[in-house]
A and B are shown apart, each in its own frame.
Chain A
Amino acid sequence: MAVILKLDRVTKQFGGLTAVNDLSLEVRQGSIHALIGPNGSGKTTTTNLIQGVFPVTGGRVLFRDQDITGKPTFEIARQGMARTFQNIKLYNTMTAIENVMVGGHQLAPMGLVSSLLQIRRSRSEERMLEEKANRMLEYVGLASIGGELVKNLPYGKKKVLEVARALMTDPALLLLDEPAAGLNPSERGFFIDLLRRINADGKTLFLIEHNMDVVMNISDMLTVINFGRKIAEGTATEIQNNPDVIKAYLGERYKVKR
Chain B
Amino acid sequence: MNKKNALYLAGWILWLVALVLAFRTANSYVQSVFCMLLYNIILVLGLNFITGLTGQMNLGTIGMLALGAYTYGILTVTAGWSPWTALFAMVAVGYAIGKVLGYPSLRLKGFYLSLTTIGFGEIVRLLAMNLESLTGGTMGFSKIKRLEFFAYKPENRSDYFYIMLIFTVLAIIVANRIVYSKWGRAYKAIRDNAEAAEASGIDISKLKIQAFTLAAIYAAFGGALYAGYNRYLNPSGFTLEYSQNYIAMLMIGGIGTVPGCILGAIIVTALPELLRSFANYYWILFCTVCIVMAILLPEGLWPLIHRLFARLGKSLRGLRGKVS
Contact A169 B200 (CB under 8 A): yes
> Is chain B's binding surface mostly helix, strand, loop or mixed?
helix
Q: Give CA–CA (A168, B202) in the complex, Å.
A: 13
Residues in A99-131 with C-beta less than 8 Å from chain B:
101-106, 108, 112, 115-116, 119, 122, 125-126, 129
Check if A92 sits within 8 Å of B183, measured CB to CB.
Answer: no
**A85 is an interface residue with CB less than 8 A from chain B:** yes
What's the nearest-Cβ distance from chain A to residue B270, in Å? Answer: 28
Provide the bound-state CA to CA distance between A219 and B177, in Å. Answer: 46
A112, B199: Cα distance in complex, Å: 21
A19 part of interface (Cβ distance < 8 Å): no
Complex interface residues of chain B between 175 and 220 (CB less than 8 A to chain A): 177-178, 181-183, 185-186, 188-189, 191-193, 195-204, 210
A85 engages B196 (CB within 8 Å): yes
Are B201 and A90 within 8 A (Cβ)? no
Which residues of chain B are near A122, meaning CB under 8 Å? 177, 181
Is A74 interfacial (CB 8 A cutoff)?
yes
- Indicate with 1 or 0, residue by residue over A40-83, a CB within 8 angstroms of chain B CB atoms: 00000000000101000000000000000000111001100011
Structural contact, A169 and B201, CB atoms closer than 8 A? yes
Report A-chain residues with C-beta under 8 Å of the C-beta of B195.
53, 85, 89
Q: Which residue of A lies closest to B203 (CB)?
A: A74
Cross-chain contact A102 with B202 (CB below 8 angstroms): yes
Q: Which of A53, A85, A93, A105 contacts B201 (CB 8 A)?
A: A105
Contact status of A105 and B202, CB under 8 A, knowing A115-B183, A125-B182: yes
A178 on the B face (CB < 8 A): no
Contact of A91 with B201 in the complex, beta carbons under 8 Å: no
Q: Which residues of B contact A89 (CB under 8 A)?
A: 193, 195-196
- Interface range on chain A: under 10, 10 to 19, 20 to 34, or 35 or more? 35 or more
Contacting pair B182 A116 (CB below 8 A)? no
Task: Say yes or no: A77-B199 contact (C-beta < 8 A), given A89-B193, A90-B193.
Answer: yes
Q: With the chains together, A98 CA to B202 CA distance in Å?
A: 15
Q: Is the CB of A77 within 8 A of B185?
A: no
**In the complex, which of the residues A72, A98, A102 has the most CB atoms of chain B within 10 Å of its own CB atom?**
A102
Find the residue from A83, A93, A105, A129 having the highest chain B CB count within 10 A: A105
B94, chain A: closest CB distance, angstroms: 13
User: Is A74 a contact of B181 with CB atoms below 8 Å?
Assistant: no
Q: Is B131 an interface residue (CB 8 A)?
A: no
- Contact among B182, B192, B201 for A92, CB-based, below 8 A: B192
* Contact of A106 with B199 in the complex, beta carbons under 8 Å: no
Give, as a whole number of angstroms, the nearest-CB distance from A92 to chain B: 6
**By the criterion CB–CB under 8 Å, are A165 and B193 in contact?**
no
CB neighbours of B188 from chain A (8 A): 91, 93-94
| B202 adjacent to A106 (CB under 8 Å) | yes
Within 8 A of B (CB), among A201-243: none
Interface contact B200-A105, CB-CB below 8 Å: yes
A169 to chain B: which residues have CB within 8 Å? Answer: 200-201
The minimal Cβ–Cβ distance linking A94 to chain B, given in whole angstroms, is 6
Given contacts A53-B195, A91-B192, contact A82 B200 (CB under 8 A): yes
- Distance between Cα atoms of A136 and B188 in the complex (Å): 21
A112 touches B185 (CB 8 A): no
A11-52 toward B: CB 8 Å interface, digit per residue (1/0)?
000000000000000000000000000000000000000010
Question: Quick check: B196 and A126 within 8 Å, CB to CB?
Answer: no
Most buried by A among B181, B191, B256: B181
Please measure, in the bound complex, the distance between the C-alpha atom of A137 and the C-alpha atom of B185, giving whole angstroms: 18
| Contact, CB under 8 Å: B181 / A115 | yes
Q: List 12 A-B contacts (CB under 8 A).
A: A82-B199, A85-B199, A91-B196, A94-B185, A101-B182, A102-B186, A105-B185, A105-B189, A105-B200, A112-B183, A125-B182, A166-B200
Pick the 3 closest A-B CB pairs, nearest first.
Answer: A106-B201, A77-B201, A91-B192
